[in-house]
Structure 1
Amino acid sequence: MPRPATIRSLASQLGLSTATISEALRDSERVKPETRERVQRAAREAGYERNPLLGATFSALRRSRHLGFNGTIGLVDVAIDDRTELMLFHQEVVRGATKRAQELGFRTELFWVGRTAPALSVTRLNNVLFARGIPGVIFLPFDQRQDFSRFDFSQIAAVGMDHRLSNPSLHTVQPDHYLSMHHAVAQLTAHGYRRIGLCLEARKDSRVDHKWSAGFLSQFREKPKGPPVPPLIAETLHKGTFTRWFRRYRPDVIVGHGQVVIDWLRALKISVPEDVGFFRINTTERSDPCAGLDLRPHLLGATAVESVVAMLHRREHGIPRYPKSISVDAIWSDGPTIRPERKPRASRTKKKT
């Protein structure tokens, strides 16, 4: 069986130095165009495959500040309205990813895609990743769906988060929105709530492919009339819409994102949690202490890093033929906005006379 082509074997074949071969394969302008073309053609014909981990290591060694470095994993977010600022949830995802990467001998670097600097175009991002020898990328959970069909994945091990790439389909890490909501409603029922109301902006539900509302409604499938309180899912939530819904259906606990709901209840002389409870879907972004779902952004970021590193060690890159998803369960987080769980009463037995 013939040995796989290497930079050294290509150099011997073409009568060039290994440095020239390396630069040519990186499409460096330091090498004449005709030489680059000759080297790259010979590499293709010989079946040469770049080792992403080795390339990243050599790139790091050339930059002495990265002593002990095994590779870099790029974290990519999209600048909305030219803002390059991570949301609270994304900040925690990045912290979890960075910590796990360090444990595995890697580092992370954040990149922005957008129209104006410091954000990069998709093409420019490709060039920067290649030039820096960055073999793995995690696409953070974008606020809006993005099309990255112009991105060259051929030499990249990539993982997406939250199915926010409309094109292409990658391996994905995400919270289990459906089951997390399903379990939350079950636990709220265990706390004694009987009229559970879901209150969301439509974009929040649409962003997760309506898994919040689907998980909520799944708890009431066996009830002939459905949920006692129909969900309020509005394009824009405001005090008037909320007040009309609340007065009509009288939920005893409200599940949603915005804690402004508590202010609206207080304006109606409703106390939280004495009269009505509030349960926040994502406690990472809470403005005040409250009960809710911890979507575990640290674990999501760490899991995404583990997935990319595993792909690198398996020498997997490009768009997967069969994309896979890893779902992370949220956990219940107690707080002062709901009443304590009701404990079952002890059964009484009559004394014999």
Structure 2
Amino acid sequence: MSKATIYDVAGAARVSLATVSRAINNPEKVKPETRERVLRVIEELGYKPNAFAKGLASRKSTTVAVVVPDMSRASIAEMMNGIADIARVYKYSILLYVLESEDASEEDILREIIAAQVDGILYLNDEITSPQYEFLRTIKNTYQIPVVLTNTFYPEDDEIPSVSIDYERAGYEITKKLLDEGRKHIYMVSTVRKYMVNDLKEAGYLRAMNESGLEPKVMRTSGRISINTEHFNEYFKDNKVDGVIAVRDSIAISFMNVAFENDVRIPEDIGVCGFQNTKYARLARPQLSCVDLPIYDMGAVGMRLLTKLMNKEEVTDRVIKLPHSIVLRKTTL
């Protein structure tokens, strides 16, 4: 008697347990090439379907794919808490896909998500280009999988619903705060890698600086401390700085550390602001002034919106902008 299990078949065929079960019990729900591969592996291994495999096909469950850029960011972890809490209420299963992978491209990962036959996709990547958006539209329209953009949006189209904040306005407001302190040499510290949401933060900064008749100064660096520390040290040598707005809290705190090493007083000499209000902003000394993003709420509202789409409920507001605020602490006057 064969000792092969459904797990062996799924592993050899490179598919999920549910796909093996569908290939056996509901073959019309599986792509022909996938079904043929599964059946070929079943024959090779001598697998005998049992009640467990049949149960998988009949069991009603909802699986959501959550796509994140990487798991090292504190903001992603907090957003996942909001997603997980709503998923728990509805008894959803979550499959997590991380885009920062050396083994697969984003397109490969999205194809893997399609193959997993998920019921919906939450896309948390804040870097969204036209090709990426078009690929997500293809997933939505061709495979009938609802998609919600979370912590980002595509300004040229609202076919795919989104949950975010008004990043341009937030960039404008935090810049005005430093301008109101009388600072004139304010830098926006952004990333070398292009992110749509960072472009919007920069746009708000540029608007505030131009209205004040001051020269905008955008510095681009890396989110990696080993790289941006060197960049900041170089800037202190040749540039006058009295204000810094960083697109991430971690970059702002990295800047502060270099400032202290150069005997710069914060906030007396340089006012510093972050743009997330993660736990690191509260742990920093001095505590970091920030644009407060409703990070947990973005995850929770994104999952709730996806629930409506999966249940085929009417969605009238396809671009949701949650309110943000400015939290002033010890790095500003």
What SS does structure 1 have at the residue aligned with 2:266? Answer: coil
Aligned pair partner of 1:116 in 103, 120, 131: 103
Distance 1:106 1:268, change over 3 A: same
1:333 CA drift (Å): 2.1
Q: How many residues align?
A: 271
The question of 1:75 aligning with 2:63 is answered no
Q: Tell me the alpha carbon deviations over residues 132-153 of structure 1, each in whole angstroms, 9 at most, x when there is no partner.
A: xx31110112557573728633
In our comparison, the structure showing a higher alpha carbon Rg is: 1
Residue 139 of structure 1 aligns with which residue?
123
Select which of 334, 337, 340 maps to 2:328: 334
Distance 1:313 1:196, change over 3 A: farther
In the alignment, the residues of structure 2 paired with residue 24 and residue 168 of structure 1 have an alpha-carbon distance, to the nearest angstrom, of 35
Q: Contact 2:68–2:76 at 8 Å: present in 1 too?
A: no
Counterpart CA distance in 2 for 1:169 and 1:233 is 34
1: CA distance between counterparts of 2:85 and 2:176? 34
Query: Could you tell me which residue of structure 2 aligns to residue 54 of structure 1?
Result: none
1:135 corresponds to which letter in structure 2? Answer: D
- Does the Cα contact within 8 Å between 2:244 and 2:272 map onto a contact in 1? yes
Q: What is the Cα-based RMSD across aligned positions, in Å?
A: 4.1
* TM-score of the aligned structures, taking structure 2 as reference length: 0.65
Kindly provide the CA deviation profile for residues 218-252 of structure 1, in whole angstroms up to 9, marking residues without a partner as x: 224444xx22x5323235651344214543xx42x
Distance 1:246 1:300, change over 3 A: same
Q: Decide which moves more: 262-271 or 19-28.
A: 19-28
Shift of 1:254: 2.0
Check the 8 A contact 2:166/2:321 in 1, yes or no.
Answer: yes
Give the Å deviation of 1:300. Answer: 0.9
CA shift, 1:32, in A, is 8.7
Overall identity of the aligned pairs, in %:
14
Q: Counterparts of 2:24 and 2:155 in 1: how far apart (Å)?
A: 35
Task: Establish whether residue 299 from structure 1 lines up as the match of residue 297 from structure 2.
Answer: yes
Larger helix fraction of residues: 2
Q: 1:235 to 1:182 in 2, by over 3 A?
A: same
Q: Residue 193 of structure 1: CA displacement?
A: 3.7
Task: Assess if the C-alpha contact under 8 Å between 1:172 and 1:323 holds in 2.
Answer: no
2:232 alignment counterpart = 239
Partner of 2:273: 279
Cross-structure match for 1:41: none
Q: CA deviation at 1:159?
A: 0.9
Deviations 1:196-221 (A, max 9, x none): 61231343664426212210122244
Q: Give the distance between the partners of 1:326 and 1:283, measured in 2 at CA.
A: 20
Most deviating of 277-286 and 137-146: 137-146
Q: Which residue of 1 aligns with 2:46?
A: none
Within 2, Cα distance between the matches of 1:306 and 1:206?
25
Q: CA deviation at 1:324?
A: 3.8
* Paired residues of 2:23 and 2:30 also in contact (CA < 8 A): no
Aligned-partner residue type, residue 217 of structure 1? L
Contact 2:190 2:198 in 1 (8 A): no
Instruction: Call closer, same or farther: CA 1:140–1:222 in 2, change over 3 Å.
Output: closer
Matched, 1:87 2:73: yes
5+ residue gaps, structure 2, are 1-21, 37-54, 223-227
**Where does residue 4 of structure 2 map in the other structure?**
none
In structure 2, the CA distance between the partners of 1:137 and 1:211, relative to structure 1 (3 Å rule), is same
Q: What CA distance in whole angstroms lies between the structure 1 residues aligned with 2:254 and 2:23?
A: 62
What is the rounded CA distance, in whole Å, between the counterparts of 1:59 and 1:279 in structure 2? 51
- TM-score, length of structure 1 as denominator length: 0.62
**Judging changes above 3 Å, is the alpha-carbon distance between structure 1 residues 231 and 60 closer, same or farther for their aligned structure 2 residues?**
farther
Partner Cα separation in structure 2 for residue 104 and residue 204 of structure 1? 37
> Residues 272 and 61 (structure 1 numbering): CA distance in 2 closer, same or farther, change over 3 Å?
farther
Aligned mates of 2:157, 2:109 — CA distance in 1 = 16
